[in-house]
Amino acid sequence: MAEFYHEPVMLSEVLEWIQPRAGGVYCDGTLGGGGHSGEILRMAGPEAVLYGIDRDESAIAAASERLGGHPGFHAIHGNFHDAKALLGALGAPALDGALLDLGVSSPQLDQAERGFSYHEDAPLDMRMDRSRGRTAAELLNTMDEAELTGIIRDYGEEKWAARIAKMICEHRTVKPLETTMDLVAAVDAAIPKAVRMKADGHPARRTFQAVRIAVNDELDPLDQALRDLTDMLKPGGRICVITFHSLEDRRVKRCFQQMRNPCICPPKAPVCTCGRKPVVRILGGGAVAPGEEEISRNPRARSAKLRIAEKL
């Protein structure tokens, strides 16, 4: 199981802002290999409690092997979108802190057979939870061209989305898309060679991101999940969220701002009559970036941003 573990991104910043305290209660909604959780538990001591949620059974197994010796560690196979129900079923008390490290994990990218990588030929799976849901292949081979265009445009921010969707549909009339290289080939055929040669990064990067987000339904439930986790915090408890691309980050930023200022009265109204009170204050001056030393050591941290909110 040890191969699932990877260096946790922005660890020192997470610990600085979540402020683990002796005997505290925490939720890591994206447990992974347990890197962040292990340090939170170490700092919070033997009386601390941490609920670690992950939809990847490999992550649950790896983190349980690593952290199972701590009496307050609870591993939960599930989705952080359902954190309120999952923790409620265990009778969890109010939280001192919550953490989300969004997106795909390094071990998932590095395990070619998972189908997340456009560098390795593997079955088109991309499910974070391989026990349920449709695979990337099922999505790509059944959605119509308009739906595919919308996914690639909206979740990948890909300007060639319509051409890529058209090419996917043409390819699958000859044979179904079954492997990651089938999808790469469709993208390569859709994007002009001159554009591909000048592309910043792999030309299939945005399409793979879009398909992965769609397969795992990563964005639509995020807003409610952030509100649920905030609701489970004690007053003064903090929620820390690490994002890796602009789609996630904009949603987290907007949700935190709405919780900080939920008033829906007209802007020119002399007094607030809606009665909605601020739920959080935003810390860290907006988004906290990783340090240059971490970026040089771990290039995958380059696009990371950390946002923090404290419950009032």
- CA angle centred on 169, ends 164 and 173, rounded to 5°: 145
Residue 2: its pLDDT value, please? 40
Q: Which pLDDT tens digit goes with each residue over 259-299? A: 999 999 998 999 999 999 999 999 999 999 999 999 999 99
Where on the phi/psi map is residue 32: left (φ > 0), alpha (ψ -120 to 50), or beta? left
Rounded to whole angstroms, the Cα distance separating 18 from 224 reads: 21
Q: Which pLDDT tens digit goes with each residue over 192-245? A: 999 998 888 899 999 999 999 999 999 999 999 999 999 999 999 999 999 999
Rounded to whole angstroms, the Cα distance separating 226 from 251 reads: 10
Query: What letter would DSSP give residue 265?
Result: S
Single out the residue of 77, 78, 31 nearest to residue 50, CA to CA: 31
Q: Which pLDDT tens digit goes with each residue over 88-145? A: 999 999 999 999 999 888 888 888 899 999 999 999 999 999 999 999 999 999 999 9
Residue 5: its pLDDT value, please? 63
Pick among 3.20.20.450, 3.30.420.10, 3.40.50.150, 3.40.50.10320: CATH of 2-103+219-311: 3.40.50.150
Q: Which pLDDT tens digit goes with each residue over 152-199? A: 999 999 999 999 999 999 999 999 999 999 999 999 999 999 999 888
Q: Structural domain boundaries of the chain?
A: 2-103+219-311, 133-216
What is the model's pTM? 0.94
Rounded to whole angstroms, the Cα distance separating 119 from 121 reads: 7
Q: Which pLDDT tens digit goes with each residue over 10-24? A: 999 999 999 999 999
Rounded to whole angstroms, the Cα distance separating 46 from 65 reads: 17
Query: What letter would DSSP give residue 2?
Result: G
| Class in CATH terms, 133-216 | mainly alpha
Residue 300: its pLDDT value, please? 87
In this predicted structure, the answer to whether residue 3 has a pLDDT above a threshold of 70 is no
Q: Which pLDDT tens digit goes with each residue over 36-82? A: 999 999 999 999 999 999 999 999 999 999 999 999 999 999 999 99
**Greatest extent of the chain over all pairs of C-alpha atoms, in Å:** 65
Rounded to whole angstroms, the Cα distance separating 69 from 89 reads: 23
| Cβ atoms of 307 and 231 closer than 8 Å | no
